[in-house]
Amino acid sequence: MSEFEREEQIKTDLEKHFKGSVSNALVQRKNRVWAEVETAKLPEVAAWLRAAGFEYLATVTGFDEGENLGAFYHITDTHVIINLKVKTPRSNPAIPSVLAVYPGALSYERELEDMFGIKIGGLPPGRRYPLPDDFPTDQYPLRKDWKFVQPAEEKEAK
């Protein structure tokens, strides 16, 4: 596909530099590249991308696929968005932090901890985000098996 020369180039470079750690790389359309990265290699890949001009971590999207939890790291140079997918087992979910590369990642990573219960290795201590301080720490609302139960007092009010 020569019409997406730049995207193809990024894809090939990623696969070449991180042989064996990057899989399922795909140029979806103009300006969109997807790739799956080995979880432990994430900070390394992020650092390499940042050095290659991809200076913005736009956001991090957590997901629940049943057996695996994980996250997409949407990294961009404002033109091309690279979506890095990392997976981690549900029984012991953990992803290393990319804070050293992208300082703006703090709130996105805290969100992964709060909403999915994914342990982020290397996250500095601090207040939780976005859930309130008194929210139970063993409940992760964005996991698929979590269901909203309406509090009793709200039911009565209806």
Partner 1 sequence: MSKITIPFGPQHVALKEPENFMLVLEGEQIQGATVNLGYNHRGMEKAAEERTYLQDLYLIERVCGICSHSHTTCYITNVEELAKAETPKRALAIRTLVAELERVHSHLLWLGVAGYEMGFETLFMYTWRDREQVLDCLELLSGNRVHYSINTIGGVRRDISAEQKTEVMKRIDYLVERTNYYIKLATEEPTIYARTSKVGMLPPEEALRRNAVGPTARASGIARDVRKDDPYLIYNELDFKVITHNTNDVFGRLVVRALELVESYKIIKQVLNNLPEGPIAVKVPMRIAPGEAVNHYEAPRGEDIHYLKSNGTDKPERLKVRAPTLANLQSVQYMLEGGWMADVPLVIAAIDPCMSCTDRAVVWDPKKGKKQTYGWEELRKMAIERYKRRGVDFSRLG
Residues that bind partner 1 (CB under 8 A): 31-32, 34, 55-59, 61-63, 72, 74, 76, 78-81, 83, 102-104, 106-108, 126-132, 141-142, 146, 148, 153, 156-157
Nearer to partner 1, 40 or 100 (CB): 100
Nearer to partner 1, 133 or 138 (CB): 133
CB of 128 to partner 1, least distance (A): 8
CB of 141 to partner 1, least distance (A): 6
Angle (CA) 78 38 16, round 5°: 70
CA 11 to each of CA 2, 8, 82: distance values in angstroms, whole numbers, following the listed order: 13, 5, 9
Nearer to partner 1, 20 or 125 (CB): 125
Chain-centroid distance of CA 141 in Å reads 17
Instruction: Return the beta strands (E) in 65-148 as ranges.
Output: 68-76, 81-89, 94-96, 119-121
